[in-house]
Amino acid sequence: MNLPRPLSLLRNSTLADGRTVDVEIIGDTVSAVLPAGSASRSADELDLAGFMLLTATADPHAHLDKSRSWDAILPPMGDLMSAIGAWRDYTAIMTEDDVADRARAQALEMLRQGTTAIRSHVDILAGDDPLLCSRALVRVRRELAGLIDLELVVLAGPDVPDVHIEAALDLGLDLVGGAPHLATDPSIDLQRLLAIAERRGSGVDLHTDESLDGPMTLHELALTVRDWTQNVSAGHCVRLGTLPADERARIIADVVASGVGIIANPITNLYLQGWDHDSSAPRGLTAARDLIDAGARFAAGADNVRDPFNPLGRSDALETAMLLVAAGHLTINEAYAAVSTGAREVMALPEAGAAPGLRAEFLAVRGTNLADAVANAPGDRYVIHAGRLVSSTTVRSETAAPSRAAHPVSIMKG
Ligand SMILES: [Zn+2]
């Protein structure tokens, strides 16, 4: 099959609400949703009988420059600071091609699983080539244009000078990011990053309070940007999940008023947090339930995949959704929204899904309902980006049938 392949009709698919429909597409946009079997034939149709048609997943928090480095680094397992140390040692010897090759492979694997938009943080390196990862990711974004939407965030740690942040933005990175909770004075670092974003008119996506008992910067972030028009989001927000209910509610109210989007990262938080607890280790997740109930913009990503910050990860947003249910106690519908429509909203992407006028971004996965799809994460998938089929996976399987002869009833009859 030659891909990408333009599609004008998705036939016989089942939506998450149970309807079985035909979805007509013109260009990159859904033009009509009709009862199954009622659309007229089209040369560019795809029969999706037996498949769920879901809004494509989007990952609002990835690190494509770090991904797939676990096997080369073989770091000790451990917490956030040990992962940062292992990664820093490796950055001294890695090349631009190494970063580009791993980032491209990771993005394409995510696309194969159904993710048609990724926001990746990009490290600004210490040493004499601070923009090595930035150049690699800008190159990969150009190569993947038309297949996957890629947003790039300048990940400026507290020791990264302003001039390098500006240079990365000049190179084409989209948003200002950082990790103020790691700074000696988190407030000073937070305000300097926001000042750069304000001066440049850039969006902001910060690593925020990624610890169980460290600084709380989310509140100051929300209060500072409440009159901004730029898109602002905060990833992790682990500390928020540890606060007493009244303090948590007060901060969440200001987060909602400010419009700051919250991005949970369950697999990495579950891996990196809680190493120093010898019993009942906390889960390290943000206050997902409270944020959703309060009406916050809420999304979830996989964060790190197969690097010092997380040795595992399937590059599949259904894994993130599963963890939001198991570890965050969200409903299956809430969890899937966080990795699809919610993620797109936090990323300021056009609304997508099976309704007229929305972008034709779909993950079709073999299954009977949403719970079945999230539980089993079936391999059989079609992925549609901007109205074009960009990936198709078919799994072939054979399993021995149970023997009838050994059945006890047969023996008794004999
Ligand atoms: Zn991250």
Per-residue pLDDT of the chain (414 residues; tens, 9 = 90+): 799 999 999 999 999 999 999 999 999 999 999 999 999 888 899 999 999 999 999 999 999 999 999 999 999 999 989 999 999 999 999 999 999 999 999 999 999 999 999 999 999 999 999 999 999 999 999 999 999 999 999 999 999 999 999 999 999 999 999 999 999 999 999 999 999 999 999 999 999 999 999 999 999 999 999 999 999 999 999 999 999 999 999 999 999 999 999 999 999 999 999 999 999 999 999 999 999 999 999 999 999 999 999 999 999 999 999 999 999 999 999 999 999 999 999 999 999 999 999 999 999 999 999 999 999 999 999 999 999 999 999 999 999 999 886 655 555 544
Which candidate, 54, 50, 86, 53, places its Cα nearest to that of 70? 86
CA of 324 to the centre of ligand 1 (A): 17
pLDDT confidence of residue 42: 86
Q: Residue 77: which residues within 8 A CB-CB, separation 6 or more? A: 311
H or E, element range at 192: helix 186-200
Query: Burial code of 27-65, b = ≥16 C-beta within 10 A, e = fewer?
Result: ebbbeebeebeebeeeeebbebeebbbbbbbbbbbbbbb
Cα of 39 from ligand 1 centre, angstroms: 44
Of the candidates 52, 50, 8, 13, the one whose C-alpha atom is nearest the C-alpha of residue 31 is 8
CA of 361 to the centre of ligand 1 (A): 25
Are the C-beta atoms of 323 and 341 separated by less than 8 Å? no
Q: Which of 205, 142, 204, 207 is nearest to 171 (CA)?
A: 142
Ligand 1 centroid, distance to 236 Cα (angstroms): 8
**Distance between CA atoms of residues 70 and 68, nearest Å:** 6
User: Ligand 1 center to residue 136 CA distance, Å?
Assistant: 18
What single-letter amino acid sits at 355? A
Q: How many CB atoms lie within 10 A of CB 188?
A: 12
- Of 399, 268, 321, the C-alpha closest to 114 is 321
Q: What is the DSSP letter of 240?
A: G
Name the residue among 24, 3, 16, 5 with its Cα closest to residue 51. Answer: 16
According to the model, what pLDDT value does residue 408 have? 58
Q: Is 258 helix (H, G, I), strand (E, B) or coil?
A: helix
- Coil vs helix vs strand at 116: strand
Residue 78 alpha carbon to ligand 1 centre in Å:
16
Distance of alpha carbon 129 from alpha carbon 22, whole angstroms: 52
Q: Which long-range contacts (CB under 8 A, 24 or more apart) does 187-192 make?
A: 187/217, 187/220, 189/158, 190/217, 190/220, 190/221, 190/224, 191/224, 192/162
77, 91, 303 from 88: Cα distances, Å: 15, 5, 18
The pTM for the full model equals 0.96
Give 18 Cα–ligand 1 centroid separation in angstroms: 35
CA of 61 to the centre of ligand 1 (A): 6
Report the SS3 class of residue 232: strand
Residue 247 C-alpha to ligand 1 middle, in angstroms?
Answer: 25
CB 274 within 8 A of CB 310: no
* pLDDT given for residue 355 in this prediction: 98
Task: Give residue 171 CA to ligand 1 midpoint distance, Å.
Answer: 21
- Candidates 144, 116, 124; CA nearest to 65 is 124
Ligand 1 centroid from CA 192, angstroms: 20
> What is the Cα–Cα distance from 262 to 296, expressed in whole angstroms?
7
Asked whether the beta carbons of 354 and 21 are under 8 A apart, the reply is: yes
Half-sphere exposure in the Cβ direction for 91 (13 Å, CA): 23
Token pair 């150009």 is found at 142
